[in-house]
Copies of this chain bind each other. A is one copy, B any other.
Amino acid sequence: MPLKGRKWMNGAEVLLRTAVGSGIEVCFANAGTTELPIVIALDSTPGIRAVLGVFEGVCTGAADGYGRMTGKPAMALLHLGPGFANGIANLHNARRAGTPLLNVIGEHATWHRSADAPLTMDIEALAATVSEWHRTNESAEGIAADVAGAIAESLTGRIASLIVPHDNQLRECPGAEIIKARPSFAPVDGREVEKAVQALRSGKKAALMLGRRALRKRGLEAAARIKAATGCDIVTETFPGYMERGAGLPRVSRLPYFPEDAVAMLSEYETVVIAGAHDPVTFFGYEGIDSFIIPRDREKIPIGTGGQDMIAVLEDLAGSLRAAKDITADEHIFASLKRPDLPEGGLTGEKVSFVLAALQPEGAIIVDEGLTTGFPYYQISAGAPPHTLLTITGGSIGYGMPCAVGAALACPDRPVINFQADGSALYTVQSLWTEAREGLNVKTLLCSNRSYHILEMELERAGVTSPGPNIRSLVGLDGPAVDWVKLASGFGVPGTSVRTAEELVGALGRTLTETGPFLIEMVL
């Protein structure tokens, strides 16, 4: 139904019909004049809901969280180069997570670009830094094909960015046909799988290293069969994008953050089959330590490297190994339900992890940007009821707050618990406003240690024991300490502040019985 006064849909309407026809239901947006025809079309297109982020990092981070949870893209609608630039940091995390995501960026009218108006930037150059697929739409007639192409690309776990000039959004498209996008995974590569079969049957001590779609439930089930059949260990990256875990699900060891610990863990294996994970490397380059964590004399077998669906690859591998389909609930393979005891006394990072693992409800979505405070959580929560864990794949801080927004919109019936470091939270603190507006069931566990503690640890590694005033200024977040309860309240989110394990147990227990956003400032 085009707007009155027109016979045909315009480019903006074709864009949205194509998106909705290919399964897009949510548009996280902060739009401006160049996207106005799309904004207007959002109300004449049934089946899509607009959600405002009051900063673009919120929009792209929310689209990341949404895409991780649903496995399909949300649309992020962004305003020209500066608006897109504000979203890059979280798109970087999304790209590293293999999140399906569609960016639509408005551009000046084609005839206005050469005027170099104030907001003009090289949007394509910006888009290329975080998008596997990017294009500037050349004509209104091409919009349906461009959008469908972008979505098809995104469905294989990629970032697609489509730049649409304002005049093409406005132009009428006589007889436009809506195209439905489908994911285009490559077929499983039998030779790759055969190499993995040989390695896993060789008798060498082996690890199966999972990443991306391999950590979804079906991928994990196939991995469990492979483990039962071969005795390999199942491991994952330091920062997996999405994983199902907890009681009844396969146990997966996680690679530690600091390089010495990570090397120690992987040195135990003679062969590592890498399925959807990055060949593991140290987070930063440390003098005297190899970038690559798997020692160079070990065997590395990457599988599914050519754009295959990693779930299909693992199921094929399990089949090739003649792995049994029904495996017993072996405690060695599957985690059993085991809640930790509740801690007492003044809060520490470890105690926070114990409380969370003890109280988190079945089906919880745990967004982990707790960083240094959150390091112990993974192990402590291994036996919690089944839950989903999302982590900071690209290391670009400010991911957790908006990711929680997107996860909550994707799964309105599941509680989202955002385990959140204070320094990172400040990057995209505006997310709280969207939580309030949309009434999202996000519980923020805010770790207030009032410092960039990871930097303190790195300074210690660098031998700095008595930092001067400039270092202290750049590492400390005290003076003044942020009052997180006031801040949240300013954005419309209620909250409370706790200093002991008992207070945290009380506050978290209470808020988990209610729906809606809540922030708990945990003073560490």
Q: Are A455 and B31 in contact (CB under 8 A)?
A: yes
* Total contacting residues, chain A, CB less than 8 A: 103
In residues 443-500 of chain A, which contact B (Cβ within 8 Å)? 454-455, 458-459, 462, 464, 467-471, 473-475, 477, 479-492
Distance, CA A388 to CA B109, complexed state (A): 34
A481 neighbours in B (Cβ, 8 Å): 492
- A291 and B426 in contact (CB under 8 A), knowing A433-B482, A458-B33? no
Distance, CA A119 to CA B392, complexed state (A): 11
A128 within 8 A of B: yes
Q: Are A482 and B491 in contact (CB under 8 A)?
A: yes
For A107, the closest partner residue in chain B by CB is B285
Cβ-neighbour of A471 out of B40, B96, B166, B287 (below 8 A) = B40
Cβ contacts A221-240/B at 8 Å (1 or 0 each)? 00000000000000000010
Q: Are A284 and B474 in contact (CB under 8 A)?
A: no
Distance, CA A43 to CA B39, complexed state (A): 50
Copies in the assembly, this chain: 2
A239 neighbours in B (Cβ, 8 Å): 118
Cβ contacts A417-435/B at 8 Å (1 or 0 each)? 0000001001101100100
Q: Are A483 and B490 in contact (CB under 8 A)?
A: yes
A484 neighbours in B (Cβ, 8 Å): 490
Q: Are A427 and B86 in contact (CB under 8 A)?
A: yes
CB A387 to nearest CB in B, in angstroms, measures: 23
Cβ-neighbour of A396 out of B119, B125, B128, B483 (below 8 A) = B119
A89 within 8 A of B: yes
A116 within 8 A of B: yes
CB A236 to nearest CB in B, in angstroms, measures: 14
- A39 and B430 in contact (CB under 8 A), knowing A81-B129, A112-B291, A284-B112? no
A50 within 8 A of B: yes
- A34 and B284 in contact (CB under 8 A), knowing A51-B473, A115-B291? yes
- A52 and B82 in contact (CB under 8 A), knowing A40-B464, A43-B467, A490-B482? no
A128 neighbours in B (Cβ, 8 Å): 122, 125
In residues 273-322 of chain A, which contact B (Cβ within 8 Å)? 278, 281-285, 287, 291-292
CB A167 to nearest CB in B, in angstroms, measures: 7
- A50 and B473 in contact (CB under 8 A), knowing A284-B166, A492-B482? yes
Q: Are B471 and A42 in contact (CB under 8 A)?
A: yes
A489 neighbours in B (Cβ, 8 Å): 483, 486, 490
Q: Are A470 and B42 in contact (CB under 8 A)?
A: yes
A219 within 8 A of B: no
A170 within 8 A of B: yes
A121 within 8 A of B: yes
Cβ-neighbour of A43 out of B36, B40, B454, B470 (below 8 A) = B470
CB A435 to nearest CB in B, in angstroms, measures: 10
Q: Are B430 and A119 in contact (CB under 8 A)?
A: no
A427 neighbours in B (Cβ, 8 Å): 54-55, 86, 430
Q: Are B117 and A480 in contact (CB under 8 A)?
A: no
Q: Are B395 and A118 in contact (CB under 8 A)?
A: yes
- A285 and B111 in contact (CB under 8 A), knowing A43-B471, A54-B426, A395-B119? yes
A265 neighbours in B (Cβ, 8 Å): none
For A462, the closest partner residue in chain B by CB is B36
A29 within 8 A of B: yes
Distance, CA A31 to CA B458, complexed state (A): 12
A383 neighbours in B (Cβ, 8 Å): none
For A29, the closest partner residue in chain B by CB is B474
Distance, CA A244 to CA B473, complexed state (A): 33
CB A86 to nearest CB in B, in angstroms, measures: 5
